[in-house]
Structure 1
């Protein structure tokens, strides 16, 4: 009897792309008509499934999943925030753009430095006047709309406009916001992540056992010290092959910039590598074909990840990108350096050569640009 049930289940199992659609819909909140749709509700809406462990049949997948009409090159804005509490306006500590060419051959990931000195445009909804500042302030300023709590969606709108103005990208086809605490929960549900450590890194924040480092006596009880910690440090050793990181290690590793040769530019590269490693882990058979683990990932993401896909659902997006592989992700290094020094330091600025890269993004010619400028490709990523 058990063998017959198992054989029936095997025959009814959905094709891989359909299961990935379910996985994609299950781990995000979709902004649709002002209503957040949870992963389980989304599964029920598109597949008729009502239980956590349900999988689509081939027939249901073909009949129920809506067809996509996403056309041309696509640009997605990914923002990581690290809010102190519900009343403090969030800063965008990680800003990554995913550019997907019209031929869907691969995805290109590039970062905007959090200290990039830019023009933040006028934004009447939050009474913001046009001015120059570090780009990570845009999210915070835009979220201060006079409500009791910061309006994160409004902050995202101002950040999106700021990034678009600086890069020349006309529009973002989708966007996602994740808080770093949520990232930790997702990686815990995945069982950790495997990634290459491309250089020796010492943690500014944690001891070797994962507990917080001690604060210097003169830095107790306030945040005026730029580097307030002392004592033993967690270390991440350079490796030529992927190593397994627990969730707290992965999040700690991608936060580090102090002591690195290229400071925040090294951190940006590590964050891009982390996203690529997370995507590979999430799309592995260990997760996609394991209902119990998939359910844990769904629950972990539900409270901390928000996805907006314009007029298209996460199912549409999953279908559109179903043939892409995580190995097709190319992480891009945009060269830059400080604007001013010492007390005159204003922030970071891109090198002049980056203008050519942004022109290539606008023309959907990134692949050609990188062939002519291989120094822009992160060899480790």
Structure 2
């Protein structure tokens, strides 16, 4: 798999190929959508003397339509633990409509019980497991260290099998810890805290809690500007009413807040500023070919605004076997969501299920 360095920072509705320190991204090799004709040729003989060639088109100028489906994965990075394998700690699907004028972001529970297919490169036979484990099983390299880039291939296939999305146009795998420097480089993000959220991880000064006796950082209801560590800490808490479904909602809030910050600063169409911001956070990227770079996609979709991004929370329930917690299962409206996604009728779904749309 070829490895390239890309200088981009965007949470454009694109794809939030949000590359932070320690982040990985895998992009599909097929074109993102219908493309225009060949690039303009240099000026011909009838051009005035000394005239320069036709200016090169901007990045992504040939991306003229969708739909686009992008998989965004928050990576559990406890690499120092013995026997560590990467797990998907957050899992979101971004759908951009055919006309590239609207986007929908939803989440899958990390404990969703699904069929994980066999994956010969890792010697995995397949079976029914939590979706968070698909990346771990797929990352196994016999005789070597786990490979997150290999693991995400099995994860993307598993998500595709569950949702019916045949291909993802891009997959971004992002270190949860790596987000904070990126957010700080954006100058922080404004988030509306919708439920009082005590942190099990951080003290009020941002240092890590050593035990239950340490003071807790508490995010109180209301709108606040969060630094990088605060925003990531807030989005990671799940010991709240609603459990992981509340945490999923906070993940979606965070991504939209980052898009808002980037849009407000005019960052999404400023390649030089993208580079300067990314220089503060690193640019490690695994890119699997592709007709378009992440920069192409970012520029092509930079006209999308936060108001064009709809956040959708899919409902689910715990699954138990012989009285033991097995994982999570999504309730029936969720299947309709993915059916509408594939048919290009998500506006109909959100109109019929307004209770599933995140507000505020």
TM-score normalised by the shorter chain: which range applies? 0.7 to 0.9
2:74 to 80, 89, 94: 80
Counterpart contact for 2:17–2:172, Cα < 8 Å = no
Deviations 1:222-262 (A, max 9, x none): xxxxxxx44321100001xx31111111111001011x110
* Whole-angstrom CA distance in 2 between matches of 1:128 and 1:266: 32
**1:233 aligned partner:** 216
Q: Which has the higher contact order (CA 8 A, sep 6+)?
A: 2
**1:332 aligned partner:** 312
Correspondence 1:358 to 2:341: no
**1:106 aligned partner:** 102
Deviations 1:33-57 (A, max 9, x none): 99xxxxxxxxxxxxxxxxxxxxxxx
In the TM superposition, what is the alpha-carbon distance from 1:301 to its structure 2 partner? Answer: 4.0
The TM-score, its normalising length taken from structure 2, stands at 0.80
* Whole-angstrom CA distance in 2 between matches of 1:150 and 1:208: 35
Q: Which runs of 5+ in 2 are unaligned?
A: 1-11, 30-52
Cα RMSD between the aligned structures? 3.0
Q: Which runs of 5+ in 1 are unaligned?
A: 1-19, 35-58, 216-228
In the TM superposition, what is the alpha-carbon distance from 1:99 to its structure 2 partner? Answer: 0.6
Corresponding residue SS for 1:273: helix
Counterpart contact for 1:96–1:110, Cα < 8 Å = yes
Change over 3 Å in CA distance of 1:355–1:118 after alignment to 2? same
Change over 3 Å in CA distance of 1:33–1:261 after alignment to 2? closer
**1:126 aligned partner:** 122
* Whole-angstrom CA distance in 1 between matches of 2:203 and 2:115: 39
Counterpart contact for 1:178–1:305, Cα < 8 Å = no
Corresponding residue SS for 1:268: helix
**1:262 aligned partner:** 242
Corresponding residue SS for 1:265: helix
2:251 to 249, 271, 274: 271
Alignment of 1:1-381 (within 5 A): 62-63=56-57, 65=59, 67-69=61-63, 71-85=65-79, 88-146=84-142, 148-215=144-211, 229-239=212-222, 242-258=223-239, 260-285=240-265, 287=267, 294-303=274-283, 310-340=290-320, 344-380=324-360
Change over 3 Å in CA distance of 1:275–1:147 after alignment to 2? farther
By percentage of residues, which structure has more helix? 1
In the TM superposition, what is the alpha-carbon distance from 1:26 to its structure 2 partner? Answer: 10
Corresponding residue SS for 2:202: coil
Counterpart contact for 2:27–2:170, Cα < 8 Å = no
Corresponding residue SS for 1:324: coil
Corresponding residue SS for 2:155: helix
Corresponding residue SS for 2:177: helix
What number of residue pairs does the alignment pair up? 318
Corresponding residue SS for 1:269: helix
* Whole-angstrom CA distance in 2 between matches of 1:326 and 1:211: 32
